[in-house]
Amino acid sequence: MAITIKNDKHMELMREAGKINAKVLELMEQNIKPGISTKALDKIAFDFIKSNDATPSFKGYGGFPATICASVNNQLIHGIPSDIILKEGDIISIDVGTYKNGFHADAARTFAVGNISNEAKKLIDVTKQSFFEGIKFAKVGYYLYDISAAIQEYIEDNGFSVVRDYVGHGIGKQLHEDPQIPNFRPFHKKGPKLIRGMALAIEPMVNVGAKDIKVLQDGWTVVTKDGSLCAHYENTILITEDEPEILTL
């Protein structure tokens, strides 16, 4: 495992990408409503990133065709934007990456489309809060899997399932760097010790039903195997001498 440590200059450059990425998600929240297509949301995100002299991290990455991943209801991640129209009661996860000055930022949110069920609200809230429970341990002196264990515990205490097949990751000059960051504690392991200059994309992925997922025929879209609702929340953070710094809020 080769974890790239960022110096002060790298961190400053990552902050710029993070700010743009955070604003994309704010724009998504403002525009998500019944009647809009995920393709229209993708264009809004693309235009905004380009207007800030940045590049969408995902477009063309491994052949992915769009700026955002737009995953609706039982779609967990990697949903491809299309002419599908959002309707009242849906939930949608938007995952987006921004590349500027040689560095990436990556973040995701799950949003309500109009009024949603109480179960869907709880799912979104628990998924988000599990991230914040995890980063209580994103400090020098702790180990990576302390973050993982806190995320898992919070999610399972609230009656939901933690996806095992996809994990968070290091980030920097590459969109995906070491280390991999599971949202559960790998059996009896601590992971690497956290030190200043680590840049991490921490991203809980949570199902209402069982943890099992499958990939659709498009080769991208990941859905819950049992058709249950799911949610995704992610931020890019820096490990500092003190509290973790969230770059994408």
Check residue 76 and give its pLDDT: 98
- Give the model confidence (pLDDT) of 54-106 as tens digits: 999 999 999 999 999 999 999 999 999 999 999 999 999 999 999 999 999 99
Check residue 136 and give its pLDDT: 98
Check residue 187 and give its pLDDT: 83
Check residue 177 and give its pLDDT: 98
Check residue 223 and give its pLDDT: 98
- Give the model confidence (pLDDT) of 196-222 as tens digits: 999 999 999 999 999 999 999 999 999
Query: Two tokens at 114?
Result: 């109009």
- pLDDT band for 27, please (50, 70, 90 cuts): very high
Q: Is 166 exposed, middle or buried (0-12, 13-18, 19+ CB in 10 A)?
A: middle
Check residue 1 and give its pLDDT: 76
Packed helices 118-134 and 144-157: angle between N→C axes, nearest 10 degrees = 160
Check residue 75 and give its pLDDT: 98
Ramachandran quadrant class, 125 (left: phi over 0; alpha: psi -120 to 50; beta: rest)? alpha
- Give the model confidence (pLDDT) of 166-176 as tens digits: 999 999 999 99
CATH superfamily of 8-246: Creatinase/methionine aminopeptidase superfamily (3.90.230.10)
Mean pLDDT of the 221-245 span: 98
Mean pLDDT of the 43-57 span: 98
pTM across the whole model: 0.97
- Report helix, strand or coil for 100: strand
Position 38 pLDDT exceeds 90:
yes
Check residue 188 and give its pLDDT: 82
- Give the model confidence (pLDDT) of 105-153 as tens digits: 999 999 999 999 999 999 999 999 999 999 999 999 999 999 999 999 9
Angle at 171 between CA 38 and CA 185, to 5 degrees: 95
Position 165 pLDDT exceeds 90:
yes
Domain range annotation of the chain: 8-246
